[in-house]
Amino acid sequence: MSDSPFIYMKEHSKTVLWNDSADPKEIKDALTWGIVGATCNPVIALTALKADKEYWVARIKEFAKANPQTTDDQIGWAMVKELSSNAAKLFEPEFEKQNGRNGRLSIQTDPRNFRDANLLASQAVEFSKIAKNMIVKIPVTSEAIAAFEEATYQGVSINATVSFSVAQTVAVAEAVERGLKRREAEGLDISQMGPVCTIMVGRVDDWVKVSAEKAGAVIDPGIMEWAGVAVFRNAHKVYEQRGYRTRLLSAAFRNHMHWSGILGGDSVISPPYSWQVKINKSGIIPNLNSVEEPIENRILEPMLEKLPEFRKMYDVDGLKAEEFTNFGATQRTLRGFLQSVNDLESFVRDVTVPNPDK
């Protein structure tokens, strides 16, 4: 086997590797072991800005001086766009090589718009024009489903995020199919479009553990480490059966099974850079067809029987579309993304209006 498990994966599997970061330094390193794209969100973007603080503080000052009419919030988003544009350039060769299926940088729409499909769709179109190889994240809330269809129809390659359930992945895939069919009916090109639907597998695990604690359910903690893998494998089976043109993407890592446990499908795995480094050092020889393996009954049955919240995520009809926004895992993640927008504005404000007491 190659020294890197990821190089081995690239050579022998149709599952591809993206990097869960827009930090150019991390991307350049990860390119050496085979990443073909990258994902980003408000939390990750702010982390990347802080990682190269000297450069971005200077850019904020320069931008603020040249654009005195802009608010700190607008400056922050301008920096996110610039960060994303810079990162996207690193993937242009892969984008051309794979005709748009990979080689993309994912940028997220403003999470404050999660209740407004029209705003999400229009911002997705705007963000898609930052670079030719941009893919745009929209959260899978009840209100946003229409945005996936409209943005797809407008020619945007979308990445569905804030997604934890098979039901959400199906709603996204169906919306994307409607958008693609509208384009096809009008003779519009779809040859370079590469939509994906993220399952935040680690956050599935998190919510299972929180719900178990709330319910007072006693379950082997090792079993609950399989929750995200189980949801992903079930969604993959549904996607295969129905022939959706959207690919699934695994993100929000908590253990190596969020990579090694879901290999083999025409899908994307996007670990944070730190997890990629750990996995590369692990020497793990992965099962290259693990996504097709059934989850053992000793693992699946206790969660289905004792944890209604897991069943909601696992069953294809476990959640109704009108329940997406108010689902616990959705609310937890949205709150984190909304806070990160506030943190981004605060980061900018500390540059534009320094605290004299420090």
pLDDT tens per residue across span 153-211: 999 999 999 999 999 999 999 999 999 999 999 999 999 999 999 999 999 999 999 99
Separation CA 157–CA 58 (nearest Å): 32
Instruction: State whether residue 28 is helix, strand or coil.
Output: helix
Consecutive H or E run containing 137:
strand 134-139
pLDDT at 1: 44
Length of the chain: 358
Cβ atoms of 237 and 209 closer than 8 Å: no
Separation CA 26–CA 246 (nearest Å): 27
187 sits in the region (left: phi over 0; alpha: psi -120 to 50; else beta) called left
Query: Strand order in 158-161's β-sheet?
Result: 16-17, 268-269, 247-251, 196-200, 158-161, 134-139, 104-108, 37-38
Tell me which amino acid residue 121 is: A
pLDDT at 2: 52
The residue ranges of the chain whose pLDDT is under 50 are: 1
The number of CA neighbours under 13 Å toward the Cβ of 235 is 36
Crossing angle of helices 328-352 and 53-66, rounded to 10°: 70
Instruction: Compute how many other C-beta atoms are within 10 angstroms of the C-beta atom of residue 341.
Output: 20
pLDDT at 83: 95
Separation CA 279–CA 229 (nearest Å): 17
Separation CA 8–CA 27 (nearest Å): 19
pLDDT at 283: 82
Separation CA 16–CA 265 (nearest Å): 9
Provide the 8-state DSSP code for 318. S
Residues ≥6 apart with Cβ < 8 Å to 319: 165, 167, 168, 312, 313, 327
Separation CA 98–CA 231 (nearest Å): 28
CA distance readout (Å), 330 to 115, 164, 199: 13, 8, 12
Alpha helices, DSSP H, located in the chain: 5-12, 24-30, 42-51, 53-66, 72-89, 92-97, 117-128, 145-153, 166-185, 201-215, 221-224, 227-242, 257-260, 273-282, 297-306, 308-314, 328-352
Consecutive H or E run containing 135:
strand 134-139
Separation CA 263–CA 269 (nearest Å): 8
Identify any residues that bridge with 250 across adjacent strands, giving them in sequence order.
199, 269
Name the pTM for this structure. 0.96
Consecutive H or E run containing 139:
strand 134-139
Separation CA 293–CA 151 (nearest Å): 34
